[in-house]
């Protein structure tokens, strides 16, 4: 059953596709580099289910093949969602330069500074998290400290409640940061495939960097920075309770997503 948000997303994509050439049937091969028991894999599976439901109307069929760190990426893979140690991620990025790699579990700032052309990050960087927490301290210097997160199970705005409910219904547990990052990776890939009408890795690389159209249930258009980091609002949590969002109102412009983390690549 489609939620209202999924129906809106489908309509938007169908209108976009209708302005181009006729819709073509595509078998889209995605891979997941990591383990089956990870939160990121559960999130990716949730994204796959939503991609399949959307794809039924557009002639698109998706598969998500689980591959172990160090194993080769299957031929014809359009993109790889990664939840693996840094060494395995960097090896895959170097070996498959024409295939988008989406990091869902590593917040390491150094991975962003390398600015690999085929490496993207749906999980927030450590620097983004620090900046969000620093903004909170400026706004509430007398209050308790907050911890920044990509996601929270009690987030309800912008269709987040429906996403949290779908995930909980499927996996019987709350959606975490890494689960959201896995879901976002597959969902933004499937949205891009549908809009661009291609499953070619090189074409998707260009589209992800230049024409991403994805809100992630966060109420604003998200895009990738030159270093591959996904610009996104973050959630601020105090003692386990959702307390606010960053960018923090009154400290910076709440629409200034580049107030969180580094914007440009290091020379």
Model pLDDT, residue 8: 52
What average pLDDT score do residues 58-79 get?
Answer: 96
Nearest to 43 by CA among 205, 148, 163: 163
Model pLDDT, residue 264: 83
pLDDT digits (tens, 9 = 90+) for 85-124: 999 999 999 999 999 999 999 999 999 998 999 999 999 9
Q: Where are the domains of the chain?
A: 4-125+172-231
- Give one DSSP letter per residue of 227-261, joined into a string: TSBBP--EEEEETTEEEEEESPBTTB-TT-GGGSS
Picking from 23-27, 35-39, 81-85, 225-229, which range would have the lowest pLDDT averaged per residue?
A: 23-27
Compute the distance between CA of residue 247 and CA of residue 251 in angstroms, rounded to an integer. 8
**pLDDT confidence of 1, banded at 50, 70, 90?**
very low
Compute the distance between CA of residue 258 and CA of residue 247 in angstroms, rounded to an integer. 9
Q: Going by DSSP bridges, is the β-strand pair 119-121/101-103 parallel, antiparallel, or unpaired?
A: parallel
Pick the CATH number of 4-125+172-231 from 3.30.70.100, 3.40.50.2000, 3.40.50.2300, 3.10.20.30: 3.40.50.2300
What average pLDDT score do residues 27-45 get?
Answer: 98
Q: For the chain, give the mean pLDDT.
A: 92
Question: What tokens appear for 40 in the block?
Answer: 């990121």
Nearest to 199 by CA among 32, 44, 29: 29
13 pLDDT above the threshold of 90: no
């Amino acid at each position: 059953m489609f939620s209202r948000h999924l129906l809106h997303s489908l309509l938007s994509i169908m209108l976009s596709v209708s302005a181009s050439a006729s819709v073509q049937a595509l078998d889209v091969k995605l891979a997941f580099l990591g383990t089956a028991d990870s939160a990121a894999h559960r999130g990716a599976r949730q994204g796959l289910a939503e991609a399949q439901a959307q794809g039924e109307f557009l002639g698109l069929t998706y598969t998500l093949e689980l591959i172990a760190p160090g194993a080769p990426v299957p031929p014809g893979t359009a993109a790889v969602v990664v939840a693996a140690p840094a060494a395995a991620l960097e090896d895959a990025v170097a070996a498959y330069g024409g295939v988008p790699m989406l990091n869902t579990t590593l917040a390491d700032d150094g991975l962003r500074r390398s600015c690999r052309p085929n490496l993207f990050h749906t999980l927030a960087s450590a620097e983004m998290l620090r900046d969000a927490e620093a903004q909170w301290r400026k706004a509430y210097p007398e209050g308790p400290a907050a911890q920044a997160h990509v996601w929270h199970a009690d987030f309800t705005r912008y269709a987040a409640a429906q996403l949290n409910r779908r995930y909980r219904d499927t996996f019987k547990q709350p959606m975490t940061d890494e689960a959201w990052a896995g879901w976002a990776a597959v969902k933004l890939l499937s949205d891009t495939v549908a809009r661009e009408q291609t499953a070619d890795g090189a074409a998707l690389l260009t589209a992800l960097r230049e024409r991403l159209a994805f809100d992630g249930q966060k109420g604003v258009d998200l895009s990738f920075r030159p270093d591959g980091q996904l610009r996104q609002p973050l959630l601020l949590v105090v003692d386990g309770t959702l307390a606010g969002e960053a960018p923090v109102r009154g400290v910076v412009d709440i629409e200034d997503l580049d107030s969180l983390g580094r914007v440009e690549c290091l020379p």
